[in-house]
Structure 1
Amino acid sequence: MSAPIKVYRARKIITMSRNRPTATHVALRDGRVLGVGEPEELARWGELEIDERFADKVLMPGFVEGHAHAMEGAVWRDLYVGYFVRRSPDGEMEGGLKSLDAVVERLRRYAETLPEDKPVVAWGFDPLYFDGRRMDRHDLDKVSTTRPVLVLHASFHILNVNSRVIEMAGMGPSTNVEGVMKDPAGEPNGELQEMAAMFAATRAAKVDFDLRTLDGPSLYRYAGSATIAGVTTATDLHNKLDDEMVDLFAEVTAKEDFPLRLVPALGALSWSPDDGIAQAKAIRERSTDKLRLGLVKVMTDGSIQGFTGRLKWPGYHNGAPNGIWNIAPSELKRTIGLYHDAGLHMHIHTNGDQASEFVIDCLEEALTTRPRRDHRHTLQHCQMADAAQFRRMAALGVCANLFANHVFYWGDQHYALTMGPDRARRMDATATALACGVPLAIHSDAPVTPLAPLFTAWCAVNRRTSSGRLLGPEERLTPEQALFAITLGAAYTLKLDHLVGSIEVGKFADFAVLDDDPLAVAPDMLKDVGVWGTVLGGIPFESPARAAS
């Protein structure tokens, strides 16, 4: 005689499926959804065992974070020095430093707790909030002059270092590396913009930010952050993915108590095109239900708030020079063409509208010369795209994953400094993307901003900056559209919409367990809906924040 069929009863189940939008019961078998409906319907499958633990909760498909990084679990080993208070993976609240002096003082006190031979590493800093004053090596020399001090900006595209790191890296007036910023006397000032400049310093200081994800505990912390937020599928959207890293991912995700499906993306800039293509194809064969391999991430420009994004005319509103290409445009065009020809699925970082336009040009040429059905290449961030660019993307079948959180965290700064009022109004233009027919997801880019899809949805629905300014009301999504973008929309961009993103027969039994109905609360309360935790493959995982309290 077969075992009874497990059925979860909930106050409400929002399925994100047109066939049956809501229900109260969901039946499971072998980690998948067997049926959704009333008990008398589900009983046709056999004897039922009703589990009442979620009887007062609302179930949704587990949220899909289509742009985040496993570094979210690793950076909390170091010091967070951000302007905004943030919740760590263990549920503690950290940060909230409101001046550059407060950041330096916090670094100094942190350094006192470390062994003298250990570098001082921090993250989450952003000078854009401090009235234009930028950190330099003299600020960090107040922390230490005898050991490396490294402070990553919130964007992860800029690094500040002290004089000791500059000395170790051999940087001086004659250094001719793009992104090594200098003072009026021609000396490196300690601000390093984008990958080439940053790598020279981190290599000299023996601080490898990529390698800081290379252990099981950091992946479990990442999964803990995901569970707190109701996320059951998340990307690690730039990783070298050499064999050692793939072995680690395979080992950790195979554990039954690991509560997350991972979708790592091979960083194209970490390999030659030929070697990267070969590696992406080889590791794709190692995919499992909880580890999906084969995705490729291509970098282009930097960050708009760091003034390293590439903007079309008229450029930066405050007159700053245009940003930095992390890969020469000619090589970028070649790279995109080769990975496309190889049949691989690319997610391409484009922040500024010049970067977006160039990548659209590259994809148009590749798809015209070598058509591919259902490629689902995706522009990530794509923050300044206008309607004309979205129309071209739709015609090419290109998806967009927009950085909705930017409206809250940097909307005021984009309005005043980087884009100016008119372009800032249409930044992260979610409504225009949908109107043009572009498949849409929205994301956090954690740890750049917190991993919290309901907050991301709130940003897209309300478009309020941190000061309360309504920025581009015409670009607001409805709550239904925003929830789609963090479930099926994101799953579609990852080619996983047949497995996750909705609660339907045959899909994984992955749920976000919520305290309230996000479609019933006021739109401005969407971010405040509580998350009990998740269900992954039918197994409940309570939020570490709830469990701790």
Structure 2
Amino acid sequence: MSTSNTVIYSARKIITMCPSQPEASHVAVRDGRILGTGTLEELQGWGEYELDDRFADKVIIPGLIEAHSHATGGGMWQFPYVGFYDRPDYTGKVWKGCRSFEEVVEALQKVEKTMTDPHAPLIAWGVDPIYFGSEKLGREHLDRVSTTRPVAVIHMSIHLMGANTAALNDCGIFADSQIEGIVKNEDGSLHGELVEFAAMGPVLQKYGFWDALTTEQAIRNFGQEAFRAGCTSAADMGLTDFDNPELAANYIRMTRAEEFPIRLLVAYGPPFVKKPFIEAVEFAADVMKHGHDKMMFGPMKIFLDGSIQGGSGRMLAPGYFKTGHNGAWNATPAEIDMQVYEIMKRGYQVHCHCNGDEASEAFIQAVEKTLNRIPAVNHRAGMQHAQMLREDQFKRIKTLGMCVNFFSNHIYYWGDQHYSKTMGPERANRMNACGSAVRHEIPFAFHSDCGITPINPLFTGWCAVNRVTASGRVLGEREKISVAEALHAMTVGAAYTMKLDHLIGSIECGKLADFTILEENPLNVEPMHLKDIKVWGTVLGGKVQPISR
């Protein structure tokens, strides 16, 4: 056995996330895999080695895993950002937010004046009207940007958009359109707001929006954004049409590039593959055979409802706070029953987008129905977002052997709005209830849903630990978790939900040598400081990757 390439790294502390040896001072690596952890003396038995002390004053933890994001988030930066919050891009540059509709319009007017092709559409992203009161973004605002050039603005949630008259007309959307989600004024005229993918589809397809989000450059940008946040792996959750040979080739080429700095954990999304559903499921094998160590295919992703802050999340009675309104189905419960069965009977893991508690209920029932029809040991069916789970739902999730992946960033970014506008106090105080998952011993992770919110697992962990909103309100003291539990969720917990805990998530013999290098020990800092810990860089498969500042 060759030992010439064995490297032993020393550190101030190595947090392994392995219960049998939770801490160490050294870790040995060979050929991209971990040989073992322990003291230098214990590891010398592996033979000839190189001792690397560059991390002697730093803390090594398992590579951070972004458990739900979208590689398309890297492509969003091709378009002007007009979101509410200041936001860093994949280079670390911070883009200023727009704090009113007036600022959104002014920002778009500036962009429009720089465009030389009078027929080119102006597509922007990031806006969220929930921060601006009850008004919705539509023709009234965007016709001020241009009456001749198509203008469309994707909401931060990506479940809604606003469009001007020129864009609506150009895409064949008129006042007599009957597609669900095309919002109309009281007099029957078009408002300009489009809710969910059926309504947005004509605009997205006409202007090639999805294709622009899956170019090689978009995937490269995403990898850089995840890497700069300390991630060694990031889940790409099912928005890509892998039936498009060009898009599939972009994924394969980019992830195989030596300089691509993360592992992309790809969830195949049959609803976004342009085939009938069952054909799309059966086509997955042809796609997944192209997987490799930096593009790992895992679950299949399906979709139930929309966005709570966008008004399209599906809630159980009494519905939305004060209004009783309810949201939209991207797939009905009956359709999800069929989809879950067709996926699980073929042996695939299924994950489902469920924001509201009615959507969560539909997915729980679909998994239960399938398990009553077929055996599925270790299925780990995953509920994505799971923002409004109730106590009875947690109990059934536990019984059914399901996993949960919380959208914990919502607590900070939209917690105040959920408290006062969408959920009301009681339900907002138990949103993204990591504490309940711990009490019920349910495997869980949490996520950013990038490009909805920025990738940063330490920030997401901070949200789950402290549950502090943008205004400083604490939402649900009982749903807080410890820093140790948060660290578990962003490493081995996330790996478990993707059925990859045999390869990543902890630092132990035989696993991939993926580490995140921190300047401070997260277990020793004040919980409110968790998001401020500096990331030095990562190690991916034994390759050291410092972050340039």
1:288 positional shift = 1.4
Q: Distance in 2 between matches of 1:395 and 1:452?
A: 32
Structure 1 SS opposite 2:285 = helix
Structure 1 position 147 matched with structure 2 position 182: no
Counterparts of residues 204-353 of structure 1 (less than 5 Å): 206-238=206-238, 239-242=240-243, 243-270=245-272, 271-319=275-323, 321-353=325-357
For the 8 Å contact 1:348–1:379, the answer to whether it is kept is yes
The answer for the alignment partner of 1:485 in structure 2 is 489
Q: Distance in 2 between matches of 1:365 and 1:95?
A: 48
The answer for the alignment partner of 1:413 in structure 2 is 417
Q: Cα deviations across residues 357-416 of structure 1 (Å, max 9, x unaligned)?
A: 011111100011112001111000010011110111111111000111100000000000
1:114 positional shift = 2.2
Structure 1 position 500 matched with structure 2 position 493: no
1:4 positional shift = 5.0
1:320 positional shift = 5.3
2:131 maps to amino acid: Y
For the 8 Å contact 2:3–2:49, the answer to whether it is kept is no
Counterparts of residues 58-207 of structure 1 (less than 5 Å): 58-116=59-117, 117-203=119-205, 206-207=206-207
For the 8 Å contact 1:283–1:294, the answer to whether it is kept is no
Residue 514 of structure 2, aligned match among 494, 500, 510: 510
For the 8 Å contact 2:230–2:537, the answer to whether it is kept is yes
Counterparts of residues 313-462 of structure 1 (less than 5 Å): 313-319=317-323, 321-462=325-466
1:281 positional shift = 2.2
For the 8 Å contact 1:280–1:295, the answer to whether it is kept is no
The answer for the alignment partner of 1:54 in structure 2 is 55
The answer for the alignment partner of 2:44 in structure 1 is 43
Q: Distance in 1 between matches of 2:334 and 2:170?
A: 33
For the 8 Å contact 2:120–2:149, the answer to whether it is kept is yes
Structure 1 residues 66 and 345 mapped into 2: Cα distance closer, same or farther (>3 Å)?
same
For the 8 Å contact 2:183–2:190, the answer to whether it is kept is yes
For the 8 Å contact 1:233–1:261, the answer to whether it is kept is yes
2:393 maps to amino acid: Q
Structure 1 residues 525 and 50 mapped into 2: Cα distance closer, same or farther (>3 Å)?
same
2:163 maps to amino acid: V
TM-score between the two structures when normalised by the length of structure 2? 0.97
Structure 1 residues 159 and 36 mapped into 2: Cα distance closer, same or farther (>3 Å)?
same
1:497 maps to amino acid: D
Unmatched 5+ residue regions in structure 2? none
1:2 positional shift = 4.5
1:451 maps to amino acid: I
Q: Distance in 1 between matches of 2:182 and 2:282?
A: 33
Q: Distance in 1 between matches of 2:324 and 2:80?
A: 30
How many aligned positions are there? 543
1:237 maps to amino acid: M
Structure 2 SS opposite 1:293 = strand
Structure 1 SS opposite 2:141 = helix
Identity %: 44
2:155 maps to amino acid: H
Q: Distance in 2 between matches of 1:5 and 1:227?
A: 25
Q: Distance in 1 between matches of 2:493 and 2:474?
A: 25
1:244 positional shift = 3.5
For the 8 Å contact 2:211–2:247, the answer to whether it is kept is no
TM-score between the two structures when normalised by the length of structure 1? 0.97
Q: Cα deviations across residues 262-318 of structure 1 (Å, max 9, x unaligned)?
A: 112222213322211212122223221111124211011001001100000000003
Structure 1 SS opposite 2:531 = helix
Q: Distance in 2 between matches of 1:473 and 1:156?
A: 30
1:188 positional shift = 1.2
For the 8 Å contact 2:333–2:363, the answer to whether it is kept is no
1:471 positional shift = 0.4
Structure 1 position 474 matched with structure 2 position 478: yes
Q: Distance in 2 between matches of 1:358 and 1:202?
A: 28
1:113 positional shift = 2.0
For the 8 Å contact 1:387–1:436, the answer to whether it is kept is no
2:398 maps to amino acid: A
Structure 2 SS opposite 1:33 = strand
Q: Distance in 2 between matches of 1:343 and 1:48?
A: 42
Q: Distance in 2 between matches of 1:401 and 1:133?
A: 31
Structure 1 SS opposite 2:209 = coil
For the 8 Å contact 1:66–1:441, the answer to whether it is kept is yes
Q: Distance in 2 between matches of 1:459 and 1:349?
A: 20
Q: Distance in 2 between matches of 1:277 and 1:32?
A: 33
Q: Distance in 2 between matches of 1:136 and 1:283?
A: 39
2:4 maps to amino acid: A
Structure 1 residues 19 and 257 mapped into 2: Cα distance closer, same or farther (>3 Å)?
same
1:519 positional shift = 0.8
Q: Distance in 2 between matches of 1:295 and 1:223?
A: 20
Q: Distance in 2 between matches of 1:2 and 1:542?
A: 25
Aligned-CA RMSD value: 1.3
1:48 positional shift = 2.2
Q: Cα deviations across residues 152-192 of structure 1 (Å, max 9, x unaligned)?
A: 11111001111101111222221111100011221111100
Q: Distance in 1 between matches of 2:192 and 2:176?
A: 15
